[in-house]
A and B are shown apart, each in its own frame.
Chain A
Amino acid sequence: MKLLFRDVRLPLANFPLILDEEVEGEVIALFGPSGSGKTSILDLIAGLRAPVSAFIAFNSTVLIDTAQGLSLAPSQRGIGYVPQDGALFPHLSVRANLLYGSKRSHEDALFSLEHVTKVLEIAHTLSGGIRTLSGGEKQRVALARALLSQPQLLLLDEPLASLDDALKAKSLALLQRVREEFCIPMVFVSHSAEEVTALCDKVLFLERGQIIRSGSPMEIFAERNITVLELR
């Protein structure tokens, strides 16, 4: 996939987010310290925040072009978003959450409820409510819900941040399987160099609202000798 950011400006609490970057890769990481603007970039791609100015394109699709007064509605962007807390609908069952955005009219076996829940190992949770889910299950249900909407692009906001080490390793393996099985390009926000190296082929390193470096995980992390601890 190709993501193009031109003249992107969005005021944040302490500094503006300013982007002018073109990046290609199947799983792109947004990497940087807390509050550097990573989630804001996901929100801009998904159309959940209005920038002062922006031209953002995903492959050949222009998502927003403020100069032309064009902005695709979030419902028309074909982008699956998995926020950090999962944002599952508390009044709906697990099954209803999963089917909320499901495109049943052109359902294929790959994106069927049965297959997605099997891959993400949450088939046993289907009949229950979301209050019975563990933290890891909530994240996987949120990911499955986004997958079932058959998105062209997946945005993952620190999906492993709240998990313990054992669960993190298991979930990372599941994400790698999702990457291989569904072949959907992803933008992955993380604090962890280890996660980024395991999952991503391109890294955008952010500091105070600006991309200060981009490259492969090897290039970024070897050169700057970055560890997860330095960022926290």
Chain B
Amino acid sequence: MLTPEEWQIIGFTLGVATLSTLLILPVGTLLAWLLARGRWRGKSVVETFVALPLVMPPVATGLILLKLFGRRGLVGSWLEQVLGIEIVFTWRAVVLAMAVMSFPLLVRAARVAFEEVNPRLEQIARTLGAGELRVFFTVTLPLAARGIAAGTILAFARALGEFGATILVAGNIPGKTSTLSLSIYGFVQLGQDTAAFRLLAISVGIAFAAVWVSEYVMRSRGRRAI
């Protein structure tokens, strides 16, 4: 049986991971479409910038976020003064770190999905009288949907396991910013191995389920492809 504290950690982690994934989904999908279909100046710079969190040490990304969103940071000070929103060392910082770290995974998967859509189908839709919005929502997006869904699940799984950036920008505050991975780290630090292993088992279960669902979506996508 899980303890109330474990339930709180699991619920919080799933909640913030879901929120961060929902936040990046529309932006990531739009950016992926622009990267896959558009020809515009600065595209390669944006591509590289988006991929940075994948190759940079997560702690370095966390430090950048801390400097940007801290009380004296460029964005953080504006948010606090104008909107009264505090980011660092709150649940919002957890969402922010998860979103930044999982964003490249979603964009890359969605971009590949858009690139796999036969442009001829979009062209024929236009000759049938469809405008650009209708072509996107009735042809492009449905045909790319499975790839986007698989990317979304991977991004969600990445968010669940996020550690390095989160601990810098959100800290490890029990009941406030502690996610599964931060809690495991905290319990190990305190020598509470049993509690750490219990959370480890839960993490493995959730990660396994997420990756399995992603693989299932990709497999069924392959079967349905023409």
Contacts and interface: CB of A to CB of B under 8 A. Distances in A.
Interface centre among B126, B129, B143, by most chain A C-beta atoms within 10 angstroms, is: B129
Interface in B203-226: 224, 226
A101 B128 contact: yes
A48 B121 CA distance: 11
B63 to A, nearest CB: 44
Interface of A: 46-48, 73-75, 77, 79-81, 83, 85, 87, 89-91, 100-101, 103, 131, 145-146, 149
A145 B127 CA distance: 11
A75 B124 contact: no
B191 interface: no
Contacts of A79: 127
A87 B124 contact: yes
Given A90-B226, A91-B142, A48 B125 contact: no
Given A87-B118, A89-B121, A90-B143, A80 B226 contact: no
Contacts, number: 57
B123 interface: yes
A48 B118 CA distance: 14
B188 interface: no
Contacts of A145: 128
A145 B138 CA distance: 16
Contacts of B84: none
Given A89-B139, A91-B142, A100 B130 contact: yes
Interface residues of B, number: 18
A89 B123 CA distance: 11
Contact of A101 (B120, B130, B142, B143): B130
B26 interface: no
A144 B224 CA distance: 24
Interface string B108-127: 00000000001011011111
Contacts of A75: 126-131
Given A74-B123, A81-B124, A87-B118, A149 B129 contact: yes
Given A83-B120, A90-B226, A48 B127 contact: yes
Contacts of B130: 75, 100-101
Given A87-B120, A87-B121, A74 B126 contact: yes
Contacts of B126: 47-48, 73-75
A10 to B, nearest CB: 16
Contacts of A81: 123-124, 127
Contacts of B142: 91
Given A87-B118, A89-B139, A131-B226, A80 B127 contact: yes
Given A75-B131, A79-B127, A81-B124, 10 more contacts: A75-B128, A83-B120, A89-B139, A90-B121, A90-B226, A91-B142, A101-B127, A101-B129, A101-B130, A149-B127
A137 to B, nearest CB: 15
Contacts of A90: 121, 143, 224, 226
